[in-house]
Structure formats: C-alpha cells, structure tokens
Structure 1
Amino acid sequence: MVHSHEEVSLEPGAARRVALWQALLVVPLALATLLGLIILWPSDSPAGTVPVMSESISLETGTVTEIGETDDAGATPVRVLLTGEGTEVPVHVPAEIVANGLDVGDSIEVMFTPAAVGTGTPYIFWDFERDVPLWLLIGAYVLVVAVVARGKGLAAVAGLALSLAIVVLFMLPALLAGSSPLLVVLVGAGAMMFASIYLAHGISIRTTTAILGTAGGLVVTGILAVLATDWANLTGTLSDSALSLTGYGIQLDQILVCGMILAGLGALNDVTITQVSTVWELRSANPSASTAQLYKQGMVVGRDHIASTIYTLAFAYVGTALPLLMAAAVLDRTFLDTLSTGEIAEEIVRTLVASIGLVLAIPLTTGIASRLARV
C-alpha cells in the first residue's frame, strides 16, 4: 500500500530508485529477523515450570458480603458468598488489602486448603476477579481508537496485538529456555518493529525508511544498554520477581539489558515515522531542496520533537516506580545516596539509555530520509 502523497513527492523513476535502495537494506534485515525467529523459537515448554499451588489446594470465586470492624490485633473479619455453592464462609484477608480497596460486593478469588479446616481459616484471600473490568476497558480502548482513528487506528491496534503475541509466544519462552537474551530481544524487537510499523502505516517508501531509522535506534540503544549496565554494576537481581528466576540459570543482568531495549521501542517507532513524514513533506513542498537542506529543515521539527518527548519516558518510569521512590524517601539518607541504590539506579539507567537512543534516532532517521528523498 503506497500513500498517494508519496507519489507527489517522488517521480516514478526516483521512487523506483529509492525502493531499490531500501530493498537492499531492509530485505536482509527482514530475512535475518525471520531466520532468528526460526532458529530461536523454543520447541518445547520451558523446563522447570512449577504449579501455582499444590494439587490439594483449590481456588474458588466468591462475592464479599460483609466486612467487619478491625480488632485490636489488626484482624478484620470478612465473609464471602462462594459462587455456585451458595455457602457463606469466613475468609482471611491481609489487612493492607482490606484498607486499600476491598469493598462489599467485590468478586474475589479465595484459596481453599482442606488441611486447614480445623484451624478455622481454610479460606484465604488470593486475588480480585478482574476479567470483566479488564475486558470492558480493552473494549472501550478499541472502540475509542476505531471512532477517532478509524481504520488506521484499528490497524495500529492489530500491530500492538501482534507485538504482544511475539513477546508471549516467542520472547518469554525463548528466554526461559536458555537462549541468548540479547539475541532473543533483538530478534523479537525486530519482528515487533516490522509488525507495528507496517500494520499501522502500511508498506510504503516512508514506512520502510522509518524501519531503517528504528533499526538504527535499536542498535544504539542495545549498545548503550550493555555498556551502561556494566559501568553502573547493575545486576538485575534486586526485585522479588527477578530473584524467582534464579533457578532457571538466566543471567539477570542480561534480562535487564533486554528490558532497556524494549523500553524504547514504542517511542522509537513514533519519532521515526514523524521524522520521515516531515522530510517527505519538505521534499514535496520544495522538490529542488538538497539533502543538506532537507536534513537541516527536518531537524528543526526533530529538535521540537526531542524537546516534547525527552520527559515522556522519564515520567512513564516515575509513575511506574512511584511506590519504590516513596519507600526510598522514608529512609534517612541523602538524595544522591537514594538515587544510587540498586533498584532506583536501574530505573534511572533504563530511562537514560532509552532516552539517549530515542534522541539519537531522530538525526539518524532524518539523515536517512533526507538522503533517500534525493536518490
């Protein structure tokens, strides 16, 4: 699918030359990504997976019918009507759950332990039932995108769905199977890059140019992630979820690097598409403009883009890590000491690496687009 405004920007002969140059660069990249998927695709389920709970323990759902008063020992009596059984039972719920979101009428999952029947608390809170709210929110998201962005927005959602499928079906199993984390994330990111850009924007000269810029940005981000993780002595072992992977023989510092690479992928797609479109419109408005002129004018927009996106990743990570920052803030230590603690340092390095890769991708993409626009 070639957009009509491209046909205005480039004459047929020029368009053929640009397409040829792009094919020489992008086709090998696509073939390498496909070959990587074939070679690294895990053939079996990850070894060493463990059940969530023992066979004697079961999960049941129910609705909270009563929340009593907290006693002096900090215990709060909670009663739940079990779904399908019509039986109301007492459930032990942690005090922090009661204080931060449990209400009468909530649908929850409870863990039933037959061996604990004699203790009076065989039912223990497991989690909230969230299927209905999550699916409704997903439906609302797709509806809003469809109404506002129409077909192009739905195509972008399809690209997002395919990218998430690559993470779930390829990357996670391959990492757990012991494949090289760096190779897995580069191949996976490449596949996600092709899927998200081409599905959202169509296959065209512009989008293929954006593919080249995004690929360059990913390489830069990957190199920076490896170097920064080593320089800052980041181990990736400080969170509970990371420690749960130690029995799988996985290098957690490499998983940290993978996360840094993936963190900047979405923003990279955004800035590369924008810069390519800017250069092409400049070329359309002034067909006689030289490569240097196109680059200079494109970077005027690029610098504005950098200024507007430079805090995007930072605030995204601050929002995600807010509980961690608050926990660190209550400790009696200096501000600089707080920033240099392991978990916070990981977030800072992740943000800086992704941001540097994002900023450098803008002049790189602008340069590629300016040169191809004058082929």
Structure 2
Amino acid sequence: MVDTSVVNSDAVVARRVRVVVAAVLIPLIVAAIVLLIVLWPGGGVKVQGYQTSTARGEVTALKACPNPQDKCNLATVELSNGPDKGKAVPVQVPTAGGTAIAVETGQVIMLGVQDGAPLDQKYQYVDHDRTKPLLILAVIFAIAVVALSRWRGFAALVALAVTAVMLTKFILPAILRGSSPLLVAVVGGAVIMTIAVFLTHGINAESAIALAGTIAALGLTVLLGWFFTKFSQLSGLAAEGASSAKAFAPDLDITGLLVAGMVIGALGVLDDVTVTQAAAVWELSAANPAASRRELLAAGLRIGRTHVASVVNTLVLAYAGAAMPVLLVFAIQDLPMLSVISTEAVAMEVVRGLVGSLGIIAAVPLTTALAAMAVADRSRDLVATPDPAT
C-alpha cells in the first residue's frame, strides 16, 4: 500500500495548496458561515393553522365498523403518550383503494389529535409507527460502517448527523421562513460539505483539494439547474408534495425549491467523486514523485472515466425510480414517448438527473486538475534538498 501522507507533508504541495485555500476556500467558507448566520431562522418556524398534536398507541382490539358503508375498521387503541396516556380510545382505520389498511392487534400506530373533541372522536389514524424497525436498520447500518471503516466510519456517521441537523434546523426552516430556497441550499450544502470532508478525511492538503473541487462542481450544478429549470419552463408544482407546501406557505418559491432539491440531491455523489479523484492523484504522486502535471491529469482522468460511468447511471436510475408511479400511469395510457417526456412530472426528473450528472462529470476534471497542479513534479524538491542521512 502506498503511503500518501508523504504527499500531504511535502513542502511544495503544502505551498501550492495554501494558495488554493487562501484564494478560494477561505473566502467561500467565510461567506457561507456569514450567510448561515444571517439566514438562520431562529426558533421554531410554524405555519398557522397546520400544526397538529400527535399521539401513539397500541392496537388492542380490531373489528369492522358498524356501518358497512363506511368501509373501515374500528380499532381500540391504548394510548402510550399524551394527556390521555393509558386510556383505551376508539379509532377508525380508513380504507385505501377499497381495501382496509393493514392494521393488526399488537401494532403501534400514530394518531392525530383533535383538541377539544370528545374522547371517542378525539383521535384519528395517521399511519403505522415505524420507529422501531427504522431504528434497528439505522443501528445495523452504523455497525456496518464502523466495522468496515473504523474511526473514519465513525467520523462519517458524525458527519451524517451534522447533515441531518443542517437539513432539519436550517435548510427547511429557513425556506419556510421565506428565504430563497436556492440560496439556502447552496449555503447549507457548502457548510455540510466542508464539515463532512474535513471531519471524515482529516484536515490536510488532499481534503482541501477535494473540497475545492466539490464547491466548484456544486457552483456549476446550481447554474445548470437554474438555467434548465427556466429554459424548460418547469414550475416545480408537479413534484410530490409541492402543491400542499404551496397551499400552506403561499409565498414559497416552488421553482427555487426544485433547483434547491437538485443541489442537495447531487451533494453526496459530488463528495464521493471529488474525494476519490483527489485520493487517486495523491496515490499516483506518492508512487511516482517525478510525475508531471500532464501525466497525473491523464492518469487521473482515466480513473475518473470509469467512476463517472457507474455513478452517473446510479444517479439517473435513482431519479427514475422516484418517478416510477408517474411513469407507470403514462405506460397505462400508452402515450407517445415524446409526449411523456414533455410532461412536467417526467421532464422535471429528466432535468434533475441530467443536471446532477453534468455536475458529477464536471467534478472529475476540475478536481483532477486541481490535484495534479498541487502534487506535480515533487521530485525536483526532493533532489534539490539533500538527505541529511547521506
């Protein structure tokens, strides 16, 4: 295994990377932090008239509703939280598509609470409580990451927690408060990537170059997303939940929210590509300190081509998978392909997938070029500085 730490500790590499950090990274990170403070929503952001109380409870009995026309089941639920904790209350479980929702005795369900209503009408079925299986899956995931990657895997989990906090405490509340969704996504994305890259891969020259490539590719993704959303005349209302969000927050910029989603969706893959490319060039330089900028760039791009080919397909398939219900409806209608693609619901996913893929494609040469400039021709300094042991 090649030791790349010698590259990070190389004097010429450190000098070159300091230029990139001082000229690009520090100004961008400072700007992101300032905007983060300015845009921070502060306190809870609420939409008047939409907040509801919630409760949970275990289904202890289940029977058909007395009126057959209601097409529902009547569940007896023992509440596990809230002011009525411990009480057994009746809850109607509605039908979905003519078939009763699969609720069985012993299951825990989530309930909506209508304050002020009589006890027998106070609670409404919302959904199954999936906390336990999701928690088990999260624990398995965390164990697998740490088992494979040790301390670096633990750092990655901490970075994941930071991402979750940024999404729930800054990005979503700031957008609800009325800030530009695109600006919020860019600021939040830059902060997330800075913390994630340095926390997971350490504060060193290699990470700095990877972060610079990530931010450059992110900027290009933002520009492409904004341009093709406008050029394709996408309103964003075809996105799942967009109409409901607009109804409860009339001032919400749905088009900006669409582009913001493209940015956030591309972040994780951009991070993967840029870190991999920087690591590849570092390995090449560690193996051959005399490698020129041209040689490192050519070799790095050869590695990047293979990586991009698989990652781009993954991203496009992910967006296609999200649009499967819509595509299925169009398949049933047997519409011409061009007509299907031109509908906003499909065109939106096409733009998302292709813009994200273009950002990934751009990340490879951008990061590889930055890395090659940082570590090329290291052997000249090695020759110029005599070894004290000799």
TM over 0.5: yes
Shift of 1:62: 2.8
The range that moved more, 216-225 or 73-82, is 73-82
Once the two structures are superposed, the pairs formed by residues 1-375 of structure 1 within 5 Å of their partners are: 5-9=3-7, 12-24=10-22, 25-46=24-45, 48-53=47-52, 59=55, 61-63=57-59, 65-66=61-62, 68=64, 73=69, 75-83=71-79, 84-85=85-86, 87=88, 89=90, 91-96=92-97, 101-111=102-112, 124-239=124-239, 241-246=241-246, 247-374=249-376
The one-letter amino acid of 2:92's match is V
1:42 & 1:11 partners in 2: Cα distance? 41
Q: Deviations over 1:301-348 (max 9, x none)?
A: 011111111211112122222222223322242222122211121111
The range that moved more, 355-364 or 235-244, is 235-244
Q: Where in structure 2 are there 5+ consecutive unaligned residues?
A: 80-84, 378-390
Shift of 1:102: 3.0
The one-letter amino acid of 1:15's match is V
1:210 & 1:106 partners in 2: Cα distance? 47
Secondary structure of the 1:288 match is: coil
Shift of 1:67: 5.3
Structure-2 change in CA distance of 1:146 and 1:180 (3 Å): same
The one-letter amino acid of 2:19's match is W
Q: Percent identity?
A: 31
The range that moved more, 144-153 or 353-362, is 144-153
Q: Deviations over 1:92-120 (max 9, x none)?
A: 322349556433432113446599879x9
Shift of 1:261: 1.0
Shift of 1:248: 3.7
Q: Deviations over 1:190-211 (max 9, x none)?
A: 0011011111111111111000
The one-letter amino acid of 1:301's match is I
Shift of 1:72: 7.4
Shift of 1:231: 1.0
TM-score by length of 2: 0.85
The one-letter amino acid of 1:46's match is V
Q: Where in structure 1 are there 5+ consecutive unaligned residues?
A: none
TM-score by length of 1: 0.88
Conserved in 2, the CA contact under 8 Å of 1:62 and 1:109?
no
Conserved in 2, the CA contact under 8 Å of 1:42 and 1:177?
yes
Structure-2 change in CA distance of 1:234 and 1:146 (3 Å): same
RMSD: 2.8
Structure-2 change in CA distance of 1:192 and 1:355 (3 Å): same
Shift of 1:171: 1.3
The one-letter amino acid of 1:271's match is V
* Equivalences, count: 368
The range that moved more, 65-74 or 148-157, is 65-74
Shift of 1:9: 3.0
Conserved in 1, the CA contact under 8 Å of 2:78 and 2:88?
yes
